Structure 1
């Protein structure tokens, strides 16, 4: 890029200013798109993750269909009312979405921090917060598209497997739309958490381990049978997703959460991850 010499009106010194129009936000979005897909592992990682998630969900429906004849009438009725919906997107797949998309978000920022590309990016586009905002939007958008795809395919494939007398349900079934929405939103939440952790930690292995502990280990071992256990349990995105699968009023739990509380957890984790990325990265060159 050519430069021109400008005279500062106060100091009468000179500085180098770039020629041409200022960088538009759409240009930053396009640059982030190119940088993300230039990582050759990303398309393969997304493809393998999608196949694994859809396959695991379909296998749950297939197993339930094969066991249908051995169930009692009451068991069949319960499955048609609740179980078929849960088979449409299972708990292991919800964890897998969070972890897989968390890895994508972390890679999106760590690939620049560890190679020094971030310094080059800031030199080309000095508006640092706008650069990171574009990265946040791009990562969230790609993850959201992934989430919508795997959840939609899983839902319709599973219910097609269960069609007829095996308890399949439609999108109009009570709670079905909420399940689909909550499951799809896990993907951008996981990606933004990974991005935020990577922005703060700046070390690949430590970021991945922290993410694994935060999104998988803690939800697995923390239980809501005590007050503080319930506080931690209800504040985690995976457990918020699990709550959204249940009826509006939770019964049999000493410290129940609410549907509104679960959606609030989604919003708070998203906001915290975005704030961490936008406030931390612009202060560093790598």
Structure 2
């Protein structure tokens, strides 16, 4: 009797599809409780600061009307106030930019510091696909958060100021300001992810993100030299300030100011560059 030996055949594991990578990155992002608390605290703080700004300005406007014998904000010599500015207080939104950028950086450097990135790339050798899925998840979460905070800030502040020039979403520049503020968070998060891939260190990544998003633009606001101002116009926070301006207000002209179109271009270029840097840094550098 002869025995036939059949070769042992191993069944190849099915290749992970992009939706599987997205699901895995979603679980990773929300596996840390700090993600919930940081994003929730940042959102509530920004809305609270904006609402407080509207309340303070309401008190000032009311006082000015009393001094002016009941004249309205736009009548006679009464006070004129830009209600849009209360919904988008600069320091508050810069703080939220740093929060979003830090969460984005954490999503990348956290895996490197814990060593989980080795397991991830062993299971899925396509590093670019992994980073693309991570960027998609973080961007989607930040876009939703940005839309909620932006809409809530605008709605609350304009409701407070409804009798003193409060705006509706249909007023000139209002929808643009809300949309730009919503997009500011995923933009900041992607920048943080690129920084996290380059630095791969907790403190270094967060500090570099802070410098890139907030501190560097502050040093590029002077109009003494045109090249300094033009360079400052390429920064996300400067473009955001252009997009949230109220076109109905007659502000003094700013030297070398960027246009709305240029600001939108900045909003489009930064995420693309950030994703390209993220993918390139992960593919070319060793673990």
2: distance between equivalents of 1:180 and 1:80?
25
1: distance between equivalents of 2:11 and 2:64?
73
1: distance between equivalents of 2:277 and 2:84?
35
Offset of 1:167 from its aligned partner? Answer: 2.1
1:280 counterpart = 2:281: yes
Aligned to 1:114: 113
1: distance between equivalents of 2:94 and 2:256?
23
Q: Any unmatched runs of 5+ in structure 2?
A: 1-6
Question: Structure 1 residues 151 and 19, CA, compared in 2 at 3 Å: closer, same or farther?
Answer: same
Aligned to 2:156: 157
1: distance between equivalents of 2:214 and 2:203?
16
CA offsets 1:2-32 (integer angstroms, 9 cap, x no match): xx977xxxxxxxxxx7733221110000000
Q: Which has the larger radius of gyration?
A: 2
Aligned to 1:77: 74
Aligned to 1:42: 35
Question: Structure 1 residues 263 and 115, CA, compared in 2 at 3 Å: closer, same or farther?
Answer: same
What's the TM-score once normalised by structure 1's chain length? 0.88
2: distance between equivalents of 1:66 and 1:178?
28
Asked if 2 retains the 8 angstrom alpha-carbon contact of 1:219 and 1:239, the reply is yes
2: distance between equivalents of 1:243 and 1:93?
16
Aligned to 1:191: 189
- Within a 5 Å distance, the mapping from 1:82-101 to structure 2 comes to 83-101=82-100
What's the TM-score once normalised by structure 2's chain length? 0.88
Runs of 4+ in 1 over 4 A off after TM superposition: 72-75, 78-82, 248-251
1: distance between equivalents of 2:173 and 2:210?
29
Aligned to 1:266: 267
2: distance between equivalents of 1:209 and 1:162?
37
Aligned to 1:19: 12
1:29 counterpart = 2:22: yes
Asked if 2 retains the 8 angstrom alpha-carbon contact of 1:182 and 1:244, the reply is yes
Q: Any unmatched runs of 5+ in structure 1?
A: 7-16
Aligned to 1:128: 127
Moved more, 212-221 or 234-243: 212-221
Report the count of equivalent residues: 272
Asked if 1 retains the 8 angstrom alpha-carbon contact of 2:104 and 2:138, the reply is yes
2: distance between equivalents of 1:68 and 1:80?
7
